[in-house]
């Protein structure tokens, strides 16, 4: 009885995964995709029925063939850098390191007016690692407190910041789906940009809610983290990879890179529910300047300051006013 129950659970989970995989990724029209998904579910139900009725035993063989065919197709899905991308991820950031000098190509610096009205600018910028002064984590929320997009901003003095963002690389016509992120629907992208682009577009154009946290870490660790981003961007340029909602997203990639720098960094569920990343950072004692996490959140919220910022030239300074741990005098 216990064995039959376990087999039934495996069949149910396989049926659910296969149905979503076919519906999300099968390269057919919606009608044919729906018919194929229904046929898959019917085969799964028949296999489940065979647990109770031995006369249905042939359904096991049919289901086994269907599973093998599905897995065979699934493993043919390969990530690519050659697709019809939306403009903001049309190019890939990559970098060259020469001693302490880093040259970044394809740094995004778009002038955003609306979601669809913008002037694209892709730039080459140079940074000296010995001038790196600060690391900030920005979190952008759009509708749920548990989910936020995490970006890391590196400061090089004189309000010179470069932001690294791990994002889905969407194709023309794609809509973001967290479920789709489990099923090879998007490629992974590491984009370097200015704060006037990637932070401002989220608060001032997309209507998201932004928070900023100064991370206090040794400068050699900060430089290593910066180089880890450059290395990840270079790797993706040569070896594309699929985005995954749990294992390859904006927060997990940050954690994987940071763990290379701080061995033994503890695993925590807040690395997956990125909206609670501030509490994780607070527990790691890398935040300074406030008494509790509520104060960090309240003072770190820069949404209103971003929307009131009169010009992109002062944007980075404006959003940091009052943020704990940052002296903007």
Q: Please state the pTM of the whole predicted model.
A: 0.89
The pLDDT assigned to 264 comes to 76
CA distance 7 to 88: 46
The pLDDT assigned to 1 comes to 57
Q: Identify the CA nearest to 187 among candidates 94, 75, 85, 108.
A: 85
Using the Cα atoms of residue 61, residue 67, residue 73 and residue 78 in order, give the sign of their dihedral.
negative
CA distance 36 to 29: 11
CA distance 156 to 221: 15
For every one of its 329 residues, what pLDDT tens digit does the chain have, with 9 covering 90 and above? Answer: 566 678 778 888 898 998 999 988 888 888 998 999 999 889 888 887 777 777 667 777 888 899 999 999 999 999 999 999 999 999 999 999 999 999 999 999 999 999 999 999 999 999 999 999 999 999 999 888 888 899 999 999 888 999 999 988 999 988 877 777 788 889 999 999 999 999 999 999 999 999 999 999 889 989 999 999 999 999 999 999 998 877 767 777 777 767 766 777 777 787 778 889 899 889 888 899 999 999 999 999 999 999 999 888 899 999 999 999 998 66
């Amino acid at each position: 009885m216990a064995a039959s129950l376990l087999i039934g659970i495996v069949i149910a989970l396989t049926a659910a995964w296969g149905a979503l995989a076919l519906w999300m990724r099968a390269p057919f029209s919606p009608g044919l995709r729906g018919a194929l998904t229904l046929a898959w579910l019917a085969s799964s139900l028949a296999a489940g029925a065979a647990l109770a009725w031995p006369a249905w035993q042939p359904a096991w063989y049919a289901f086994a063939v269907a599973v093998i065919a599905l897995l065979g197709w699934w493993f043919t899905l390969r990530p690519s850098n050659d697709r019809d991308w939306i403009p903001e991820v049309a190019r890939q950031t990559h970098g060259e390191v020469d001693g302490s000098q880093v040259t970044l190509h394809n740094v995004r610096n778009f002038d955003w007016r609306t979601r669809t009205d913008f002037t694209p600018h892709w730039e080459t910028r140079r940074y000296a690692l010995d001038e790196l002064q600060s690391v900030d984590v920005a979190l952008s929320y759009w509708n749920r407190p548990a989910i936020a997009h995490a970006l890391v901003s590196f400061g090089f003095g004189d309000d010179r910041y470069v932001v690294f963002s791990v994002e889905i690389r969407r194709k023309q016509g794609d809509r973001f789906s967290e479920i789709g992120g489990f099923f090879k629907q998007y490629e992974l992208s590491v984009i370097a940009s200015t704060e006037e682009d990637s932070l401002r577009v989220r608060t001032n154009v997309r209507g998201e809610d932004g928070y900023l946290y100064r991370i206090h870490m040794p400068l050699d660790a900060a430089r290593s983290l910066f180089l880890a981003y450059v290395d990840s961007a270079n790797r993706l340029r040569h070896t594309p990879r699929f985005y995954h909602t749990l294992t390859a997203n904006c927060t997990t990639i940050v954690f994987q890179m940071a763990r290379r720098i701080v061995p033994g960094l503890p695993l925590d569920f807040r690395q997956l529910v990125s909206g609670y990343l501030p509490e994780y950072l607070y527990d790691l004692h890398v935040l300074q300047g406030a008494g509790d996490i509520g104060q960090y959140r309240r003072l770190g919220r820069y949404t209103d300051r971003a929307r009131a910022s009169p010009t992109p030239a002062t944007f980075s300074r404006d959003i940091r006013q009052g943020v704990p741990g940052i002296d903007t005098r």
